[in-house]
Amino acid sequence: MAGKTQICQALLFVLFFTGGVSVAENENPAGRPVMIALYTETPITVDGKLDDPVWDKAPVYPLHLADDRDPNGLDKVQEPGEARLAWDENNLYVAVHYFDSDVVAEGKKDNEMHCFKGDVGEVFIKNEHHTVYWELYVTPHGKKSTFFFPGWARSLPSSFEYKMKLPVAARVEGTLNDWTDRDQGWVGEMAIPRGELARQGVPFPSDGWTILVARYNYGRYLDKQGPELTMTPRLPKTNYHDLPNYARLELKRSLPGSP
């Protein structure tokens, strides 16, 4: 893996791992799981509160261990998490809610490699008809990173110098960076501007968009060394850059059976 982000994940793997209504991802005819973003007529206030009406209606996607960490399919996630998706004429919205007994985030500014520095919610978005893709972070203290890759094999320093407008917000249920107590978790929200995606030559919406929502979870009370890495959809291996196994993103104005 050539880029900093791949290196980040690869090093963590070598160091630590060697030796609404909850729904599962639906399978589409092409074999990819499907994740639905639900339309909202009212723009979402990105504040980490998850009190916008659409979040009560949007499908809830639990995060999983990858198959290589969970070969028997028992899904023994120590600290569960979930994701929701929504959209409107201007943005694709992502909300995450993580159980977390020890919320930690030691990065100081935006566009750091926060996966080395504490808990992170990550969103990867790619159109399968184009080579480009994005890796976007929200942290418990409301910091963000916006990385852009022109192609799978072109992870160079410029990918990590990319800046895009990305409103994010977070709310900690507990105390941040205090290992002496027990926390409940944290919430993160982001609004991915559709214009930022189109600026790189990929119109949104258009056919072929795929998505992965992932997490780095560090903590005092985890019973295995290193962060717990979970994601939705479930991947065959613990590699967040496994582009062919992302879920197909479907934009819906309503869900079946809804008024």
Q: What is the pLDDT of residues 70-81, one digit of tens each?
A: 888 777 899 999
Rounded-to-integer distance, Cα 39 and Cα 183, Å: 33
**Any long-range contacts for 8-17 (C-beta under 8 Å, 24+ apart)?**
8/113, 8/115, 8/116, 9/115, 9/229, 9/238, 9/239, 9/240, 9/241, 12/115, 12/216, 12/226, 12/227, 12/229, 13/238, 15/226, 16/224, 16/225, 16/226, 16/227, 17/69, 17/226, 17/238
Any idea what DSSP says for residue 28? P
**What pLDDT band is residue 157 in, cutting at 50, 70 and 90?**
confident
Q: How confident is the model over 178-193, as a mean pLDDT?
A: 98
- The residue among 252, 251, 243, 237 whose CA lies nearest residue 13 is 237
Instruction: Say which CATH class 4-252 falls into.
Output: mainly beta
59-70 pLDDT, tens digit each: 999 999 999 988
pLDDT value for 153 = 84
Domain boundaries, the chain: 4-252
DSSP notation for 116-183: GTB-EEEEEEEETTSS-EEEEEE-TTS-EEEEEESSTT---GGGGS------EEEEEES-TT-TTS--
Res 9: pLDDT: 47
pLDDT of residue 13: 36
User: Residues 73-79: contacts with CB within 8 Å, 24+ apart?
Assistant: 77/228, 77/230, 78/222, 78/223, 78/224, 78/228, 79/185, 79/217, 79/219, 79/222, 79/228
What pLDDT digit, counting tens, does each position of 112-130 carry? 999 999 999 999 999 999 9
Average pLDDT score, the chain: 88
Per-residue confidence (pLDDT) for residue 258, from 0 to 100: 67
Query: What pLDDT score was predicted for residue 18?
Result: 29
pLDDT higher than threshold 70 for residue 14 = no
Does residue 6 have a pLDDT over 80? no
Does 2 have pLDDT greater than 80? no
C-alpha distances out from residue 205 to 29, 99, 145, 210, Å: 20, 32, 23, 11
Q: Is the pLDDT of residue 29 over 70?
A: no
Q: What is the mean pLDDT of residues 143-162?
A: 89
pLDDT tens sequence across 86-99 = 999 999 999 999 99
Q: How far apart are CA 247 and CA 250, in angstroms?
A: 9
